[in-house]
Structures are given as C-alpha cells and as structure tokens.
C-alpha cells in the first residue's frame, strides 16, 4: 500500500514496486522509526498541532506495534514501500484518524535521516565495545609475552630484536585510534535533522529542540536542505570502519604468516582453525583469511557511498536509499569479524622458543654491534661499515656474530674487545631498548598499563 495514492490513477507496476521498495533492508530500523515518531508526536501535541487524545492513541498504537514486531506477532509486509510507510499504514489501520495525523510537519526525508542516525549511533556503541574487548585481549597477551624476544622485520627481512609484547601493543595503539575515530564520527553525526521536513522546513510552529533532546541528539541541524541531504556521517563511519578492517587485515596477515611452518611463532586453537578435505595434515587459519578478504568488502561499501553522493543535487534524491545496504553491510561485516577475531586471538598460543630461534638468525644484532664501536669512540658510519664487513664474513663462514672469534673482529676493527659479546646478546639488545616507545620488557609493561588506562 502506498501512502501517496491521491495523484495516481493506476496501481504501481509490480516489478517497479519491488525495485523501489527498501523494506527488505530498512525494516531493521523499525525501533528507531517508532522512537522518532513518538518524539515527533509528543512535540506536535506540546505545540498544539495535534490534540492530547490523538497523542495518547498514537503512543499506545506505536508501542503496541513495536511490541508486536518484537514478539513476531506482526510481520512486516515485504511488499511495503519502506519501513516508514509500513508502520504509518499499520498505525492508521489500528487507530484510524489519529494515525493519519502523525505525519503532519514531517516528511520521510527527515524521518529516514533521523532513523538511520539513531540506528548507526547504536551500531557505533557496539563496535566501540568490541574494540575495547579486543584491546583488552591484546594487552593481556602483551603483558604475558613482555620479554619474549622475536625478530622485528622491515621489508619482511629480519631487522632488529623486539619483544612479542611490543609487537602486539602496536595493534593496541591502532585500535585505540580506531575507537577515537569512531566516537568522533558518531559525535559529529549526533544532530537532529527532524523538522527539516521534505527540504524546506514547515509553516507549523514546531519545536525542533524538543524532539532533538527527546531522541538524545546533541542539537539540531541548522539548515533544512542539509538536514535531508547529508550522508557525510555514513561516509565518515564507513571510512572509520575501513581503517578498522585495514588494521584487522594486517594483523590477520601476520597471524597467517606466524602460523606457517616457516615461522611457527603461534598456534591457533583447534576451535578457531579449519582442516582440508584432502590434506590430512592441514590446519588452516581461515578466520584470519576471511577477515583479510572481507576488508575489500568494507572498502567497497565506502566507495559505494562516496560514488552515490558525488553527483547529487540538493536535496533528497532516491539514490540515497542506497546508503543503507552499504553502511549496514559495513557495520555487519566489522562486527562479525571482531566477534570471531577476539576469541581466536584470546585462545591463540605463542611459541616463544620458535621466536627466539628465528631471532638468533638473520644478524638482527648487527646494529647493536655497530653501536658497540660507537661506544668506543668510532663514528657511527665507520662502525656501520666495519659491522657490514663482519656480517659478510659470517655469511661466508656460515657462522653468527655471537660465534665469530674475537681475533676476526679485531682484524676488521681494532677497537673491538671481549665486551662486544655481551653487547650483542639478544636479551641485552632488547633490554637496552628502553627509549620511549621501544620494545624493552619494562617498556612493554608500562605501555600496556597506559593502554589499559586509555581503554577504560
Ligand atoms: N525509503 C526511502 C529511503 O530509504 C525513504 C525516503 C523516501 N522519500 C521519498 N521522498 N521517496 O531513502
């Protein structure tokens, strides 16, 4: 049933109705739609635009509809044009004339703009809470492995020694920024478009501040055209979600590598891994691969929204109905990824002995070896060159800096003495890296405490 019958002589073509309808994806906003209508009706009555009797019938009717949808007693008609139309039609069927007064001084254009904001506000809260949970899992692990030495990489080449705790906390920092980005976008979104009406406000004496307050907005949108045309918040949120996915994807990529026999730095719990249909030995990190794969999907949602908006003249255009599938998909995807990733990470076992073995190869203490010469007064660039020659020599001889005899050191640079072996000991290399933000175990514990404080 369409609400806009009067002007039309024919029923809407069936295919066109299906094409036009958004109810299959906007019915998830039924609670928000009803809350928006309740606030609007209360305002209409407070301003003397509808009577108190109308208001009490509307309130009763809407609350009953909400309860009936919730309990499954009322099924949402799949042929309805959208959730707004459906609820208004149902209300009128239940209470008659008062139901027909609800839409006074309102348009679906400001109605949908309110609903989607209210809906996304809750979604932001959920993702925020999941990020908090993930950061807690990360910090607990980081504390546990504060002194587990592992190789740090650049260009996927072993570079310098770090600790596993330090590596994990890098992700905690990213996720803290993600929380900030999300709440920042949420706060910018939290202004009420209600009362913008179709595009040009209204001649009724409405009270926009009242509905805004009732619905928990921080204020009202100041321009009625902007009120109904703005979808910046969808784009900002999809962008914040894309960055979250990018972070989860990089983390996933590392876990995939760490699970391989080439690394074997970690072992995933059986409950969060899958097998192969033919290769009996396989244990695959599917969750992380799916997270990596689904990242593209969320980026796609962002691009959908940006492209949808770029050519739209003011004010509302039907193109904007496409906002919902994109932004809902982005939130659904991030939530399901986080909900799976969190317990997977929580139950993941680290294998510090293997990390340590990997750290022992690849000359990741070469910088420390050069620094030893610097301590003896050798300029860094000369120390760098001498150490490079030592590394080349070790590669030739098939040995390590730790094993190379002192006379070989001395042949390349006379300033070397016994002390070099202590300097290049991996634990000392890591323990000495106490510079702010560095990987030393006591730094890791301090960083973890700071993250926990910020994550409260
Ligand atoms: N289903 C529409 C949407 O999601 C609601 C707004 C319709 N407004 C209109 N003038 N047709 O955008």
Quick: pLDDT tens for 197-226.
Answer: 999 999 999 999 999 999 999 999 999 999
Task: Report the distance separating Cα 174 and Cα 181, nearest Å.
Answer: 11
Q: Assess whether pLDDT exceeds 80 at residue 124.
A: yes
Per the residue annotation, which of 40, 71, 84, 155 is the catalytic one?
155
The rounded distance, in Å, linking the Cα atoms of 447 and 135 is 12
The confidence band for 6, taking pLDDT boundaries of 50, 70 and 90, is confident
Question: Who contacts 144 (Cβ-Cβ below 8 Å, separation ≥6)?
Answer: 165, 350
Question: How many whole angstroms separate alpha carbon 372 and alpha carbon 141?
Answer: 33
The span from the CA of 16 to the CA of 26, in Å, is 18
Reported for 283-288, long-range contacts at CB under 8 A and 24+ positions apart, including other chains, are 283/259, 285/252, 285/255, 285/256, 285/259, 287/252, 287/340, 287/341, 287/344, 288/251, 288/252, 288/253, 288/255, 288/256, 288/341, 288/344
Residue 267: CA count within 13 A, CB half-sphere = 8
Between the CA of 17 and the centroid of ligand 1 the distance, in Å, is 13
Give residue 251's pLDDT band: very low, low, confident or very high (50, 70, 90): very high
Half-sphere exposure of residue 352, counting CA atoms within 13 Å on the CB side? Answer: 12
CA–CA dist 9, 186 (Å, integer): 44
Question: Is 276 one of the annotated active-site residues of the chain?
Answer: yes
Per-residue confidence (pLDDT) for residue 28, from 0 to 100: 98
Structure tokens at 358: 């990997």
pLDDT of residue 7: 83
Q: What angle do CA 261, 265, 271 make, to 5 degrees?
A: 85
Asked whether the predicted pLDDT for residue 2 surpasses 80, the reply is no
Q: What is the pLDDT of residues 126-159, one digit of tens each?
A: 999 999 999 999 999 999 999 999 999 999 999 9
DSSP string over 312-325: PPSS--GGGGGHHH
Rounded (10°) angle between helices 108-144 and 30-46: 130
pLDDT of residue 5: 74
Whether the pLDDT of residue 376 is over 80: the answer is yes
Which atom number of ligand 1 is nearest to the Cα of residue 83?
1
Q: What pLDDT score does 330 carry?
A: 98
Encoded tokens for 192: 């009420």
Distance 316 CA to ligand 1 centre (A): 8
**Ligand 1 pocket mutation pick from 87, 318, 325, 328 by most atoms within 8 angstroms of CB:** 318
Q: Ligand 1, atom 4: nearest CA belongs to which residue? A: 321
369 φ/ψ angles, rounded to the nearest 5 degrees: -65, -45
| The pLDDT of residue 274 | 87
In this predicted model, what pLDDT tens digit does every residue of 10-63 receive, in sequence order?
Answer: 888 898 999 999 999 999 999 999 999 999 999 999 999 999 999 999 999 999
Q: Which pLDDT score is estimated for 241? A: 98
- For residue 322, how far is its CA from the centre of ligand 1 (angstroms)? 10
pLDDT surpasses 90 at 283 = no
Torsion 259-261-267-270 (CA) sign = positive
Q: What is the pLDDT of residues 150-179, one digit of tens each?
A: 999 999 999 999 999 999 999 999 999 999
Residue of 190 and 273 predicted with greater confidence: 190
Tell me the pTM: 0.95
Matching residue, tokens 């910020």: 454
- What is the C-alpha to C-alpha distance for residues 389 and 424, in angstroms, rounded to an integer? 16
Average pLDDT, the chain: 96
Q: How far is the CA of 321 from the centre of ligand 1 (A)?
A: 6
Q: What pLDDT score was predicted for residue 425? A: 94
Calpha distance 165→447 (Å, rounded): 10
For residue 1, the model assigns a pLDDT of 58
Rounded Cα distance between 360 and 356, Å, is 6
The size of the chain, in residues, is 456
The CA 30 to ligand 1 mean position distance, Å, reads 14
| CA distances in angstroms from 353 to 170, 261, 264, 322, 357, listed in the order given | 22, 14, 10, 52, 6
- From the list 149, 219, 196, 187, the residue with the least C-alpha distance to 364 is 149
Residue nearest to atom 11 of ligand 1 (CA): 318
Closest residue by CA, ligand 1 atom 12 = 321
- Ligand 1 neighbours, Cβ below 6 Å, are 22, 26, 82, 108-109, 112, 316, 318, 320-321
Q: Does residue 155 have an active-site annotation?
A: yes
Question: Residue 349: beta bridge partners?
Answer: 267
Atom of ligand 1 nearest to the CA of 316: 10
Residue with tokens 């009706």: 41
Among 22, 167, 229, 276, which one carries the catalytic annotation? Answer: 276
* Per-residue b or e along 226-246, where b marks 16 or more CB atoms closer than 10 Å to that residue's CB: bbbbbbebbbbbbbbbbbbbe
């Amino acid at each position: 049933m369409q609400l806009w019958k009067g002007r039309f002589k024919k029923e809407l073509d069936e295919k066109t109705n299906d094409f036009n309808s958004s109810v299959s994806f906007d019915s998830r906003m039924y609670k928000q739609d009803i809350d928006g209508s309740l606030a609007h009706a209360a305002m209409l009555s407070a301003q003397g635009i509808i009577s108190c009797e109308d208001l009490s019938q509307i309130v009763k009717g809407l609350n009953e509809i909400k309860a009936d949808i919730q309990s499954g007693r009322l099924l949402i008609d799949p042929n309805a044009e959208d959730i707004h139309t459906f609820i208004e039609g149902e209300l009128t069927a239940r209470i008659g004339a008062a139901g027909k007064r609800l839409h006074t001084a309102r348009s679906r254009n400001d109605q949908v703009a309110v609903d989607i904001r209210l809906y996304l506000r809750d979604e932001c809260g959920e993702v925020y809470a999941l990020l908090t949970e993930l950061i807690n899992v990360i910090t607990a692990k980081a504390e546990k492995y504060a002194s587990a030495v592992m190789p740090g990489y650049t260009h996927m080449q072993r570079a310098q020694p770090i600790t596993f705790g330090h590596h994990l906390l890098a992700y905690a920092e990213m996720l803290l920024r993600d929380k900030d980005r999300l709440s920042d976008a949420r706060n910018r979104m939290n202004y009420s478009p209600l009362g913008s009406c179709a595009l040009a406000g209204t001649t009724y004496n409405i009270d926009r501040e009242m509905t805004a307050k009732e619905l928990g907005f921080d204020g009202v949108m100041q321009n009625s055209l902007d009120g109904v045309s703005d979808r910046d918040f969808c784009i900002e949120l999809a962008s914040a979600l894309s960055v979250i996915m990018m972070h989860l994807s990089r983390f996933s990529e590392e876990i995939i590598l760490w699970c391989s026999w080439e690394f074997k730095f970690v072992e995933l719990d059986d409950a969060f891994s899958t097998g192969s249909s033919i290769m009996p030995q396989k244990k695959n990190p599917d969750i992380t691969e799916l997270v990596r794969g689904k990242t593209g999907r969320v980026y796609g949602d962002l691009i959908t929204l940006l492209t949808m908006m770029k050519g739209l003249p003011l004010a509302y255009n039907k193109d904007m109905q496409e906002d919902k599938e994109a932004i809902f998909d982005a939130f659904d995807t991030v939530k399901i990824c986080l909900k799976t990733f969190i317990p997977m990470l929580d139950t993941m076992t680290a294998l510090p002995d293997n990390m340590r073995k990997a750290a022992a190869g690849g000359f990741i203490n070469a910088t420390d070896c050069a620094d030893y010469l610097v301590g003896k007064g050798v300029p860094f660039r000369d120390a760098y060159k001498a150490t490079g020659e030592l590394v080349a020599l070790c590669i030739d001889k098939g040995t390590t800096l730790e094993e190379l005899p002192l006379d070989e050191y001395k042949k390349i640079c006379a300033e070397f003495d016994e002390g070099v072996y202590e300097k290049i000991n991996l634990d000392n290399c890591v323990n000495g890296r106490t510079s702010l933000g560095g990987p030393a175990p006591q730094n890791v514990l301090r960083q973890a405490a700071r993250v926990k404080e910020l994550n409260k």
